Structure 1
Amino acid sequence: MGRSHALSGWVAGLVVAPFVGLNTVAEVVPFAVATAGYALVPDLDHPGASASRVLGPITGFVSGAVRAFSGLLYAITKGPRDEDSTGRHRHASHTLAAAIALGFLTSSVGATGGWRAVLAVALFGLILAADVLGDWVLMVVVGTGAWTLAGSWLPGTTVTQALQGGLAEIGSWIGVAVAVGMFVHCLGDSLTRSGCPWLWPLPIRGETWYEIRLPRALRFRTGGWVENGMIAPALVVAGVLLLPGAWPLVQQVFDAILSTTSVWIAGGQ
Structure 2
Amino acid sequence: MVMGPTHAMSGAALGLGIAAAIPTALGGPTTVAGAFTFAAITAGAALLPDIDSPQATVSKTFGFLSVGAAHVCENAALAVYHGTKSKRDNDRENGHRTATHTIWFALLAGLLCTVLVGVLGKPAAIGILFIMLGLALRGLFPEWSGKSDWLAITAVSGAAAAAVWAWLPQMAGGVALGTAVTVGIVAHLLGDALTKSGVPMLGGVVSINGKKWWDICPPGFMRIRANGLADKVLLGVFTAASVYLAYLCAFDPDALGADWSPLITSDAAGELQDRTAQPGANAW
TM-score by length of 2: 0.74
Contact between 1:6 and 1:129, CA under 8 Å: does it hold in 2?
Answer: yes
Q: CA deviation at 1:73?
A: 1.5
Amino acid at match of 2:5: R
Mapped to 2, the partners of 1:160 and 1:81 lie a distance apart of 50
Q: Distance in 2 between matches of 1:90 and 1:11?
A: 24
1:15-164 map, 5 Å: 15-21=17-23, 22-134=29-141, 162-164=167-169
Match of 1:172 in 2: 175
Q: 4+ runs of 1 displaced by more than 4 Å?
A: 159-162, 246-249
The answer to whether the aligner puts 1:196 opposite 2:203 as a matched pair is no
Cα distance in 1, alignment partners of residues 228 and 194 from structure 2:
12
Corresponding letter in the other structure for 2:230: V
**Alignment partner of 1:240 is 2:243:** yes
Please give the per-residue CA displacement for 1:44-79, whole angstroms capped at 9, x wherever unaligned: 111121221111111111111111111112112112
Question: C-alpha distance in 1, partners of 2:94/2:212?
Answer: 12
- Give the match for residue 266 of structure 2: none
Q: Determine the C-alpha separation between the residues in 2 that align with 1:217 and 1:64.
A: 35
Offset at residue 3 of structure 1 (A): 1.0
Shift of 1:81: 2.2
Please report how far the alpha carbon of residue 162 of structure 1 lies from its aligned counterpart in structure 2 after TM superposition: 4.5
Deviations 1:2-32 (A, max 9, x none): 1111111111111221121335312111111
Paired residues of 1:31 and 1:170 also in contact (CA < 8 A): no
Instruction: Please state if 1:208 is matched with 2:215.
Output: no
Are the structure 2 counterparts of residues 233 and 23 from structure 1 closer, same or farther at C-alpha, using a change threshold of 3 Å?
farther
Distance in 1, Cα, partners of 2:117 & 2:57? 25
Partner of 1:14: 16
CA contact (8 A) 2:106 2:185 kept: yes
SS at match of 1:226: helix
Superposition deviation, residue 124 in structure 1: 1.2
Contact 1:74 1:87 in 2 (8 A): no
- Give the C-alpha shift of residue 96 in structure 1: 0.8
AA at the equivalent of 1:245: A
Go from structure 1 to structure 2 and tell me whether the alpha carbon gap of 1:245 and 1:119 turns closer, same or farther (over 3 Å shift). same
SS at match of 1:242: helix
Deviation (angstroms), 1:171 = 3.8
- Among all aligned residue pairs of Structure 1 and Structure 2, give the percentage whose two residues are the same amino acid: 33
Structure 2, gaps ≥5 residues long: 24-28, 145-152, 256-261, 263-284
The separation in 1 between residues aligned to 2:11 and 2:184, in whole angstroms, is 5
Q: CA shift at 1:160, angstroms? A: 6.3
CA-to-aligned-CA distance 1:191-227 (integer Å, 9 cap, x gap):
0000000112110111101111011110011111111
